């Protein structure tokens, strides 16, 4: 498969993953299913799936860990210019120390703190959304790999 076919299938995969989360958000009252960092996650998961930053562990744990930091600050520390900076720095350090670096997840503390999210945000959209991105990514990328091998 040539680069154009791979690019189109990658874009289609990203659209499917974001579309599923958007559809779930519209069809249920369970809360949010989407968050802006998932757009950047889609670039990594579908665009450069072999990158260490796009691996399932990094996507899921990176989002969950940094979201936890954001909610922790909202719940126990407060939101100020200083705490936004500290939480962001902690998120970067935590991902590096746990070897779960996923750059889009670096936005989570800011998003969560600026919008005052609660602990339920860790389940939806963070955990469920990250898992959906990874599962759709695995299906699409296995298909692309098969086509590359046959070419």
pLDDT tens per residue across span 61-99: 999 999 999 999 999 999 999 999 999 999 999 999 999
pLDDT tens per residue across span 18-54: 999 999 989 987 778 999 999 999 999 999 999 999 9
Judge whether 102 and 63 are in contact, CB under 8 Å: yes
Question: Of all residues in the chain, what percent carry a pLDDT higher than 90?
Answer: 83
Q: Name 141's Cβ contacts closer than 8 Å, sequence gap at least 6.
A: 13, 45, 46, 49
pLDDT tens per residue across span 102-136: 999 999 999 999 999 999 999 999 999 999 999 99
The SS3 call for residue 41 is helix
Judge whether 94 and 105 are in contact, CB under 8 Å: no
Judge whether 70 and 84 are in contact, CB under 8 Å: no
Structural Rg of the chain based on CA atoms: 16
pTM: 0.93
């Amino acid at each position: 498969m040539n680069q154009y076919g791979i690019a189109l299938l990658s874009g289609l995969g990203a659209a499917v993953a974001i579309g599923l989360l958007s559809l779930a958000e519209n069809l249920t009252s369970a809360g949010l299913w989407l968050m802006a960092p998932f757009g950047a996650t889609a670039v990594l998961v579908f665009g450069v799936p072999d990158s260490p930053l796009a691996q399932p562990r990094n996507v899921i744990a990176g989002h969950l860990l940094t979201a936890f930091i954001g909610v922790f600050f909202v719940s126990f520390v407060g939101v100020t210019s200083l705490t936004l900076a500290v939480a962001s720095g902690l998120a970067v350090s935590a991902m590096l120390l746990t070897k779960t670096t996923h750059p889009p997840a670096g936005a989570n503390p800011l998003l969560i703190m600026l919008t005052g999210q609660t602990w339920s945000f860790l389940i939806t959209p963070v955990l469920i959304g990250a898992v959906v991105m990874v599962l759709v990514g695995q299906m699409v990328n296995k298909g692309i790999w098969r086509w590359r091998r046959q070419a």
